[in-house]
Copies of this chain bind each other. A is one copy, B any other.
C-alpha cells in the first residue's frame, strides 16, 4: 500500500519504519528534522497536502486534538485525500472531536479510523503496540495488515467513530487511578512504620495486584522517575477525559482528583518525570518520603 505518514516524533518514526520494513511504500512531508534513516525508507514530498494527494492511506501521529484539526483542515490533508482513500488517526485525542473529524472526512468520500495506541516508545520500536480502533468494519479489515506491522494486541472496539479514542481514555483513567492507589497505599504503609517493599510483595497475587503494582511501585520505592510516560502527557490525556466528560455530562470525581495531583507534581517541577512520580505529591501531603 502507498502510505503517507504525518507526525514522525518519538512514536511516529519507529511506527513508520516498521511499515516500510513490512514492504509498504512510504511518503512523508519534508522537514529539516527528518533523519537519514527516514529519508532512506521514504519518499519525501514537499508538504502534508502533497503526501495526502499521493497516498492510498494516510496515517496521523501528532500530539493533540488541535494538531489533528490543523493537519486535516488547515494544511489541506482532508481536501487532498483521493476518493476511496483511508485516513487513520493514531494520535491520542478527544473522542468527541474525533466524531466531527470523521464525519467531515467521510463526507468527502474517504474512510476514517481512529486508532490510538498504548505501549510507549518501546512498543513502537518492537512493533508490540496495543491498538484500539474505532470505525467501520470494512475500513478496519483494510487497515489490519498495517496495524499488524506496528502492534500486537489489536482490538476493533466498535464501528462508531471515536470508539478507539474512548477506549484509550478509559485506559489512561485506570492507569492514573491505579498509580494513585499504589502511591497512597505505600506512603501510608511506610509512614505507619512498615517496609513498603515488603508490603508490595505481600500484596502481589491478591486482589490488590495490578501491572501498576508490579512495575510502577518499584519506581516509587526507588524514586527512579526517568520516563517512561511523562506526567505532562498524562495530564494531556486526563484533560481529554475531563473535557469529554463535561461535554457528555458525566462526573468523574477520582479522575479529576488524579489530575489535581498531577498538577501538584507539575507545580513542583516534575512534569517531565515518569507518571509514577505522582507519588511525590502524595509524599508531600504526608510529610514523608518512601526513600530511605
Residues of A at the B interface (CB closer than 8 Å) are 95-96, 118-119, 130, 132, 134, 153, 155, 157-158, 160, 162-163, 166-167, 169-171, 173-178, 180-182, 184-189, 191-195, 198-199, 201-203, 205-213, 215, 241, 244-245, 248-255, 257-258, 261, 282, 285-288
Contacts and interface: CB of A to CB of B under 8 A. Distances in A.
Given A170-B189, A193-B160, A155 B210 contact: no
A213 B211 CA distance: 11
Task: Give this chain's copy count.
Answer: 2
A188 B211 contact: no
A286 B175 CA distance: 21
A118 B160 CA distance: 42
A286 B251 contact: yes
Contact of A188 (B182, B250, B285): B250
A211 B206 contact: yes
A276 to B, nearest CB: 11
A194 B250 CA distance: 15
Contacts of A182: 174
